[in-house]
Structure 1
């Protein structure tokens, strides 16, 4: 024999493949796990009754459509504290609110009513947030009067508008001066209060 070790390995592999996984007389018991649901211990298919018992909301597609539209607008109008963003989102929420009022609440099932109330609450909440933001911007205007210049530049960039480089350069060059003036004004106000 030229390769006795190879023949021994082949014989061992064949023996392992042919031999039973357990000794005769032994029975295999599946391990019971306390963490697994009962259906996983006995079957690969779960009980389908709980899945079928959940009725869908009549407003499921309405809520999905609202969410997709809202997310799209938020991606498009992503400049924080922008008047254009605020106006567009306010119009969006008011429009959705008026269309939601056209739905007959009494004809909805329980799930539909829940979705109706939740969507209505969200629309009112988002409108209130935009009103708060507007008040906040008006209060901040005293401290950051240059914010509108930055917002205008960012919105023009977002709209892919052609810019006049000398005008943009002048705006950007005056920003540090405006920031310094605002800082001095705030410091003077704080010194007067002390």
Structure 2
């Protein structure tokens, strides 16, 4: 059933503050861990927890965001998500056309120039679900993904540096031992070391 056109009031999370708080919390915790193997294990845990949080909520977040714009015509959804407008444009193009770059010309985004009725019809034709309580759910989902992403980003440099430290003297750990500690693959550990070296250049 097509949703009526409306302008739902959607709370906008304080993404900047949420991310800053999450980043500071992770950095304070990890910088206080002296031993490299303990720091590596904890950083790996933070990254994996964040990945699980993001995976568990990002699709639901995206569906709510796309529903609000295509069915209800709510503007400013990118601000609720805490992303740049272009990232949101790609999100709803993917939902409508299966291609985040689709339906774009030199004149701009065709979907943005559709009437409300045309957007709703396009959404129905593409099988985009209408999320009835999207306005209530989206802010919380966006906060969860935003915080998890910030925690992951904050932990990664510690994870990379600890992997490199463990592999060098005086630790001289084998890649397999480091991988086992973090419950990751040896390729992942090699990638961590490479990125740590590249950052230090």
Q: TM-score, normalised by structure 2?
A: 0.30
Q: Which has more radius of gyration?
A: 1
Q: TM-score, normalised by structure 1?
A: 0.31
User: Larger relative contact order (C-alpha < 8 A, sep ≥ 6)?
Assistant: 2
